[in-house]
Amino acid sequence: MRGWLRTRTAWWALLAIGLLPLCWLLWRTLTDQLGANPAEALIRATGDWALRGLCVTLAVTPLRTVLGWPELARFRRLLGLLTFGYATLHLLCYAWFDMGLDWGDMGIDIAKRPFILMGFSAFVLLLALAATSFNRAIRWLGAARWQTLHRAVYAAAVLAVVHFFWMRSGKRLYGEVLVYAAILAALLGWRVLKRLKKRSA
């Protein structure tokens, strides 16, 4: 398994898997299977996949450490870019279907509604991480500053969950929110415990 993870095929396989939700959404759109409110279905689905992508990306380091598979680290950048892709689609669906691509109204909506502000803030952080995810950016920033910047993924994940929570609070639907919050708490908690153990060693 570890040998296969080092191959180019494994990278392409992960890319194909990561694009499956997009293909499924496109198919449902083209075949009119998005329900009574297609716009809302697309906005929510792309947001869900962005949040799932964040959780999977954050799970790479714990899995790599627990399983003893350092090869998993090579997939973190791809997972992060896929996550950013779904977050971009989420924002574009909102801008197009909810705001009619009226950027002035969109700015007012972001400032007016806290849950939109949280989501947009998470996207801005993900944009910064995606823009600096390449080797040239690492050389330009320096390894230490690059690592500090990319810890912003934790803030982006927290903001995304808060965005999801406030979005669902209007209908008092907290089940999914609690699942994502628990996953995020476990992934961040693992990192905190590991750091505390390192300091006490």
Report the b/e string of 126-156 with b at 16+ CB within 10 A: beebbebbeeeeeeeeeeeeeeeebebbbeb
Instruction: Give the model's confidence band at 99: pLDDT under 50 very low, under 70 low, under 90 confident, else very high.
Output: confident
Tokens of 163: 């965005």
CB contact at 8 A, 123 and 87: yes
pLDDT, one tens digit per residue, over 109-129 is 888 888 899 999 999 999 999
pLDDT at 168: 77
Residue (of 141, 153, 182) closest to 165 by Cα position: 182
Predicted confidence at residue 98, as pLDDT, reads 84
pLDDT for residue 2 is more than 80: no
In Å, how far from its chain's centre is CA 86? 7
Supply the pLDDT for residue 170.
67
Quote the DSSP letter at residue 7.
Answer: S
Question: Cα separation of 164 and 44, whole Å?
Answer: 10
pLDDT digits (tens, 9 = 90+) for 127-144: 999 999 888 888 888 888
Q: Residue 90 is which amino acid?
A: H
CA 78 to chain CA centroid, Å, is 12
pLDDT for 130-188, tens place per residue? 999 888 888 888 888 888 888 899 999 999 999 998 887 766 767 888 999 999 999 99
Tokens of 23: 């293909």
Q: Are 119 and 160 within 8 A, CB to CB?
A: yes
Look at residue 184 in the predicted model and tell me its pLDDT.
Answer: 93
Residue 54 or residue 97, greater confidence: 54
Residues of the chain with pLDDT > 70, as a percent, come to 98
Cα dihedral across residues 48, 156, 163, 88: positive or negative: negative
* Closest C-alpha among 79, 48, 90 to residue 153: 79
Give the predicted TM-score (pTM) of the model: 0.91
The dihedral over CA atoms of 163, 166, 169, 171, expressed in degrees to the nearest 10, equals -70
pLDDT for the residue 198: 77
- What confidence tens digit (pLDDT) does each residue in 12-64 have? 999 999 999 999 999 999 998 888 889 999 999 999 999 999 999 999 999 99
**Rounded mean pLDDT of 89-98?**
92
Has residue 97 got a pLDDT over 80? yes
Contacts of 62 (CB under 8 A, 6+ apart): 187, 190, 191
Confidence of residue 201 (pLDDT cuts 50, 70, 90): low
Distances (CA, A) of 3 to 6, 10, 79, 147, 168: 5, 10, 20, 28, 43
